[in-house]
């Protein structure tokens, strides 16, 4: 029995939807905040230390490459024939959080650290990484 094209497409989509949750875990596309645990130490010996959940920017952004315009080619002596536009997942705003450090016994200290508040795709700059 032959199925009409719309019915075959609907059946294929239904099979994909039912089996989509099995197999490898896929990562979400885009640039987003990711929470992770960080250990903060007051010095190299770890005299005082504490843990805190911080956030970082992870993921990917769209980049592209295309043939350079004639003006770019001429200005580069015809050596720059490809122009690329790269965008990286970066922190767009920060926030300060206070971390309680245990220093042995009942003594504690408080330290402020920065964590990401928001992320965005922005021009990649070597100085950031």
List pLDDT tens digits, range 24-37.
334 456 899 999 99
- pLDDT category of residue 8 using cuts at 50, 70 and 90: very low
- pLDDT category of residue 7 using cuts at 50, 70 and 90: very low
Predicted TM-score of the model (pTM)? 0.60
Other Cβ atoms less than 10 A from the Cβ of 113: the count is 14
Domain coordinates in residue numbering, the chain = 27-60+90-128
The residue-averaged pLDDT of 70-89 equals 91
pLDDT at 41 (0 to 100): 87
Decide: residue 11, CB within 10 A, 0-12 exposed, 13-18 middle, 19+ buried.
exposed
Give the residue with greater pLDDT, 123 vs 13: 123
Top mean pLDDT of 21-25, 42-46, 62-66, 123-127 is at: 62-66
pLDDT at 29 (0 to 100): 64
pLDDT tens for each residue of 99-116 = 999 988 888 888 899 999
């Amino acid at each position: 029995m032959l199925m009409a094209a719309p019915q075959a497409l609907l059946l294929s989509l239904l099979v994909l939807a039912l089996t989509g949750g099995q197999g490898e875990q896929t990562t979400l596309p885009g640039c987003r905040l990711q929470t992770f645990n960080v250990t903060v130490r007051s010095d190299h010996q770890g005299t005082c230390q504490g843990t805190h959940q911080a956030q970082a920017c992870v993921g990917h952004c769209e980049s592209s490459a295309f043939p350079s315009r004639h003006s770019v080619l001429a200005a580069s002596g015809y050596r720059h024939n490809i122009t690329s536009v790269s965008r990286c997942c970066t922190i767009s705003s920060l926030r300060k959080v206070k971390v309680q450090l245990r220093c042995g016994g009942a003594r504690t200290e408080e330290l402020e650290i920065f964590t990401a508040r928001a992320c965005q795709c922005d021009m990649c700059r070597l100085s950031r990484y």
